[in-house]
Amino acid sequence: MEELAAFKKLGLSENCLQALVKKGFEEPTLIQDKIIPLFLGKDIDIIGQAQTGTGKTAAFGLPLIEKLKVGSRYPQALILAPTRELALQVAQEINSLKGNKNLQIAAVYGGQSIEEQLRRLHKGVDIVVGTPGRILDHLRRKSLNLATIDYLILDEADEMLNMGFIEDVEEILKHTNKNKRILLFSATMPERIVSLAKRYMKEYEIIRIKAEQPTVALTDQIYFEVQYADKLEALCRIVDVEHEFYGLVFCRTKIDVDELARKLIDRGYDAEALHGDISQFQRERILDKFKKKRINILVATDVAARGIDIMNLTHVINYSLPQDPESYVHRIGRTGRAGKEGTAITFVTPDETRKLIFIKRIAKTNIRKERLPQISEIIRTKKEKIKERLEAILGSESYMDYLSLAEDMLKEQDAKNVLASLLKHTFGDKLDEKSYNEIRDVSIDTKGKARLFVALGSIDRINAQKLVDFIREKTRVDSRKIQDVRIFEKFSFVTVPFEDAEIIVQTFKKLGTGKRPIIEIAKERKGPREGHRGSHRNFRR
């Protein structure tokens, strides 16, 4: 057990250490190093702030296994998760960490047969892992008794808040005993989560793991400039040029996910789609295929991908640019885990330039521009793969059944010609350069200017200086960058650098009250606008 000396120092038993050896763990992550001894050593509540992929499940799962007693008739611990995928994943992870300790663990979530869950709960369960909605269903049916639990763990609490589950969580808390310990884990700490902690926790300690700590540092971040119509061709080139591609491809909508997955399958790729309209049975089947690498491309929406924790992804592809910097960091954090390097690739169309600059600036990350693989590079890579496969067959001697056919052909033909004919017959389509379409060059000017429309004018008692001061105060953009200010009766225009335009637009979008935003990008008109003169004439709101 010398290789697990760091885990042993945290106070874990031999049983848990053996389970860690089987799973291939070597050293604890930062959050495991902080949470495990605190959970085991102090009788207090805990708040853990850390990103997805930092090892939270083992951080609370291992000490929970140590604390629980064997043979209890009623649940001793409840773990709440925002999605079915995460609930199932947490249950499986804890089950794999329990070693020889006879603890019963059940995942309870919507979309699964409730009759099967009822039978499982009736037999007796030590740890219940569930989504808030289904846990409430069982409480109403009186098929789940939480009055005896010693531990309540909220995993990804901010996601539960985003998905509207906090009221359900508070309702569940009413059915638990007051003496339980609470552990709350969240990537961010919005005010609603903080107030929840203050209201229901007793003495607690906060463990914060910096957001920069997860896997982004191990992720090579690249973007390609492409026209929207060329995205599929670009994706195929990226997959084909890699010796081993195993990745998640993110699209914005369910329709986009279905369409892209269908096109990839039509082209012969092993791909599947994952989104909110897919049944739970299908989800589990698809994720199982992906984890076992029977498919190597999973196309998904952000919501559907929540809770997917696969450690050895080679790539994350932003087929559609994410909505905000937080989503970008969350997406790319799925690669480059467990000390392995990964690659995050983003497709950027000409009209998404400002958004890319905004993401880079707010996420404080370097995303470098690269050139898409050329067709000749892809063909060269494919030839190398073919050579490797043939050498593997030669090494395994699995070709013996074909020797007599080979001998017959070699009696009449030159060996080199026979081999070349066989390669053409087997791989001709894959090595045909005509199977790839040309991709148009795109040149995006990231150093240019953007014209902004402002829904305020002289009727609002605003002048050029007041408008500049107003924008600077709300966005902290240097007032010297706000130029060419034109004030009209009911609206105004300003010009700012590209890199600041999205900052201003996004800031005022967040400040909005559900009505039309005060400031937005002015769209260029094809012809002059009648009745007006000056630099604004070719722009509209």
Last residue of a domain, one of 421, 444, 467: 444
Distance CA 131, CA 110 (A): 7
Asked if residue 131 is part of any domain, the answer here is: yes
Q: Is 73 exposed, middle or buried (0-12, 13-18, 19+ CB in 10 A)?
A: exposed
Q: What is the pLDDT of residue 3?
A: 57
136 in any annotated domain: yes
Q: Give me the sign of the Cα torsion angle 123, 127, 130, 135.
A: positive
- Tokens 């389509």 sit at which residue? 429
Q: Do 392 and 478 belong together in one domain?
A: no
Cα 237 to the chain's mean position, in Å? 23
DSSP 61-105: HHHHHHHPPTT-SS--EEEE-SSHHHHHHHHHHHHHHSTT----E
d(CA 426, CA 355): 45
- Indicate the residue type of 374: Q
d(CA 405, CA 425): 16
Same domain, yes or no: 153 and 265: no
pTM: 0.53
Question: Same domain, yes or no, for 388 and 483?
Answer: no
Backbone angles phi, psi at 49, to 5 degrees: -110, 110
If asked whether residues 134 and 248 sit together in one domain, one would say no
Total domain count for the chain?
A: 3
Based on the domain organization, do 466 and 426 belong to the same domain? Answer: no
Handedness of CA 24, 29, 35, 40 (dihedral sign): positive
Look at residue 216 and tell me if it is in a domain. no
Query: Is residue 117 a contact partner of residue 128, using CB atoms and an 8 Å limit?
Result: no
The domain of 227 spans: 221-444
Same domain? 243 vs 142: no
346 in a structural domain: yes
Cα–Cα distances (Å) from 373 to 100, 378, 388, in that order, read 50, 7, 21
Give the pLDDT confidence score for residue 524 in this predicted structure: 54
Question: Would 260 be classed as within a structural domain?
Answer: yes
What residues does 79 pair with on adjacent strands?
Answer: 129, 153
Query: Cα–Cα distance between 156 and 240 in angstroms, integer?
Result: 36
- Cα–Cα nearest to 151, from 185, 192, 118, 119: 185
Whether 247 and 190 map to the same domain: the answer is no
With H, G, I as helix, E, B as strand and everything else as coil, classify residue 429. Answer: coil
Alpha-carbon separation of residue 401 from 397, 398, 409, 424, 488 (angstroms): 10, 8, 14, 21, 85
Phi/psi of residue 352, nearest 5 degrees = -110, 10
Q: In this predicted model, what pLDDT tens digit does every residue of 109-150 receive, in sequence order?
A: 987 888 999 999 999 999 999 999 999 999 999 999 999 899
Whether residue 305 is contained in a domain is answered as yes
- Ranges under pLDDT 70 in the chain: 1-3, 52-53, 211-218, 306-307, 309, 336-340, 443-447, 510-516, 523-541
Is 64 within a domain? yes
> Of 444, 471, 490, which closes a domain?
444
Same domain, 30 and 148: yes
Encoded tokens for 388: 């490797």
How distant, in Å, are the alpha carbons of 226, 258, 402, 442, 443 from that of 348? 6, 21, 49, 10, 11
List residues bridging with 127 in a β-sheet.
77, 105
The verdict on 151 and 266 lying in the same domain is no
48 lies in the same domain as 192: yes
267 lies in the same domain as 323: yes
In a domain, 269, yes or no: yes
Q: Which pair of tokens denotes residue 20? A: 């860690």
CATH number at residue 320: 3.40.50.300
Residues 181 and 272 in one domain: no
Residues in the chain: 541
Q: Which of 335, 322, 114, 141 is nearest to 242 (CA)?
A: 335
Rounded to whole angstroms, how far apart are CA atoms 13 and 134?
A: 33
Report the C-alpha gap between 292 and 308 in whole angstroms: 14
Output the domain CATH number for residue 497.
Answer: 3.30.70.330
- Residue 451: which residues within 8 A CB-CB, separation 6 or more? 493, 494, 495, 521, 522, 524, 536, 539
Residue where one domain finishes, among candidates 409, 429, 444 = 444
